[in-house]
Structure 1
Amino acid sequence: MRLSKKRVQHTKGMDITPMIDIVFLLLIFFITVSQVSETNREKLDLPELKGAEDQKKTSLVLNVRQNGQIVVAGNELEVADVAFLVGKELEANGGDPGLVTVVVRIDQRATCEVPNALVKQLASQGISKVRLAVQVPK
Structure 2
Amino acid sequence: MKRKKHTSADDEAQIDMTPMLDIVFIMLIFFIVTTSFVKEKGLDVNRPENNTKTDKPSKSLSIRIDENGTIMMNGREVDIRRVVANTQTFLAENNTDSAGIQADKDTEHGVVVEVMNQVKIAGIEKVSVLVKS
TM-score, with structure 2 as normaliser? 0.49
TM-score, with structure 1 as normaliser? 0.47
Greater relative CO (CA pairs within 8 A, separation 6+): 1
